[in-house]
Structure 1
Amino acid sequence: MQGRNGRDDRTLGELFSELARETSTLVRQEVNLAKTEMGQKASRVGKDVGFLAAGGVLAYAGLLAILAGLIVLLGQVIPMWLSALLVGLVVAAVGYFLIKKGLDALKREDLAPRQTIETLKEDQQWIKDQAK
């Protein structure tokens, strides 16, 4: 509310009251932004975990049949125990590769709400400027 001389005619109490209301609104908006941002990140991480689980289950089911056939086939050329050992080592190496790939993807995911952190810094500066 500006008077005739262009000055704000509100009392100091009214100004602080307005600042408190605006700060409260700002904090609520920032909390909502943080919730949204964390929800998006959790969704991406959940999708990566889903890929890990689905890949593991499918690989396991498919490999069981193939491995049994491969062990029997190799067992006709070398002793059955050696055939099973060799096939087991190869399968373990492939499994290790898949697990490592999934874990590396999860490690690259930044879970910190970066956008919210930046806006909170801006809000802090805005509040300091308003208090002057």
Structure 2
Amino acid sequence: MTTPYQHDRSEEVSETSVGELIGNISNDLSQLFRQEVELAKAEVQQEAKKAGKAAGMLGGAGFAGYLAVLFLSLAAVFALDAVMPAGWAALIVAVVWGVVGGVLYLNGKKKLKNVDPMPRRTVDTLKEDAQWLKNPTG
């Protein structure tokens, strides 16, 4: 059973030129692309909110860890104060933390030299896509 709408639509399609069909396809693809971009934006925004909350929690954990190290350092100073003058105890704890900081700095600097800021795989993929667009059959 055909409705009047279906019948009218088939006549409209049969009278449509190839150029109009290609134009319609182009418009549909453009609309689809815009919708995909909007969906991607929404997903990224949602994930960014989650990441922001997680970063806040990690920041709080980092601050709590900092305070724990600070008070443990003070406890070490007071413990050493029982066997030597307080000034020397504080100096020993400070030197230990200086050595730890120096080792962390040198290791971080060494690892930073291995970081490649260029997204190589993405660049290669984009080059392949550009080649395909230039020559889709080969």
Length-normalised TM-score, structure 2: 0.48
Measured in 1, the distance between the counterparts of 2:43 and 2:52 equals: 14
1:15-60 residue CA offsets vs partner (Å, 9 max, x unmatched): 1331132022112122123213422543454345324311221123
Measured in 1, the distance between the counterparts of 2:95 and 2:22 equals: 71
Change (3 A) 1:87 1:8: farther
State the AA in 2 paired with 1:57: F
User: Over alpha carbons, which structure has the higher Rg?
Assistant: 2
Measured in 2, the distance between the counterparts of 1:82 and 1:47 equals: 43
1:83-122 residue CA offsets vs partner (Å, 9 max, x unmatched): 223333555648x6xxx8xxxxxx9xxxxxx9xx9xxx8x
Q: Does 1:14 align with 2:32?
A: no
1:68-107 matches, within 5 Å, as 68-90=74-96, 93=100
Measured in 1, the distance between the counterparts of 2:39 and 2:55 equals: 24
Please name the residue that 2:61 is paired with.
Answer: 55
Query: RMSD of the TM alignment (CA)?
Result: 4.1
Unaligned runs of 5+ in 2: 1-8, 109-114, 116-121
Seq. identity, %: 29
User: How far does residue 13 in structure 1 lie from its aligned partner after superposition?
Assistant: 3.5
Instruction: Tell me: higher relative CO, structure 1 or 2? Use CA pairs within 8 A at least 6 residues apart.
Output: 1
Length-normalised TM-score, structure 1: 0.50
Q: Secondary structure at the match of 2:64?
A: helix
Q: Secondary structure at the match of 2:16?
A: coil
Measured in 2, the distance between the counterparts of 1:76 and 1:8 equals: 99
Unaligned runs of 5+ in 1: 101-106, 108-113
Query: Which shifted more, 70-79 or 8-17?
Result: 8-17
Measured in 2, the distance between the counterparts of 1:80 and 1:68 equals: 11
Q: Does 1:67 align with 2:73?
A: yes
